[in-house]
Amino acid sequence: MTEDRLSNQRGQVAVATLGREAWWLQPMLIVLALGGFMVYTAWAALQGTHYEYKNYFSPFYPTFTKPEWWPFSPAFLILWAPAGFRFTCYYFRKAFHRSVLLTPPACAVADARAGYTGESRFPLILMNLHRYFLYLAMVELAVLWYHAARSVVFDGRLGAGIGSLVMVANVAFLSLYLTSCHSFRHLIGGRLDCFSHCPTRHALWGQVSRLNERHDLWFWLSLFSVGLTDLYIRLLSMGIISDMRLF
Ligand code: FES
Least reliable range by pLDDT among 6-20, 181-195, 206-220: 6-20
Which pLDDT tens digit goes with each residue over 139-170?
A: 999 999 999 999 999 999 999 999 999 999 99
Taking the C-alpha atoms of residue 104 and residue 116, their distance in angstroms, rounded to an integer, is 10
Distance 157 CA to ligand 1 centre (A): 37
Q: Pick from 247, 245, 226: which is nearest to 51 by CA?
A: 226
**H/E element holding 194?**
none
Q: Is the pLDDT of residue 10 over 60?
A: no
Closest atom, ligand 1, to C-alpha of 219: 1
Report pLDDT for 76. 97
Q: How does residue 5 score in pLDDT terms, banded at 50, 70 and 90?
A: very low
Please report the atom of ligand 1 found closest to the CA of residue 130.
2
Q: pLDDT tens digits for 198-244? A: 899 999 999 999 999 999 999 999 999 999 999 999 999 999 999 99
Question: Which pLDDT score, from 0 to 100, does residue 119 have?
Answer: 79
User: Residue 104, class by beta-carbon neighbours within 10 Å (0-12 exposed, 13-18 middle, 19+ buried)?
Assistant: middle
Which of 60, 143, 145, 131 has its CA nearest to residue 89? 131
Give pLDDT, residue 17.
54
3-state helix/strand/coil string of 20-70: HCCCCHHHHHHHHHHHHHHHHHHHHHHHCCCCEECCEECCCCCCCCCCCCC
The binding-site residues of ligand 1, defined as CB within 6 angstroms of any ligand atom, are: 89-91, 130, 181-183, 215
For residue range 71-111, list pLDDT tens digits in order: 999 999 999 999 999 999 999 999 988 888 888 777 777 77
Please check whether residue 208 is in contact with residue 189, taking contact to mean a CB–CB distance below 8 angstroms.
yes
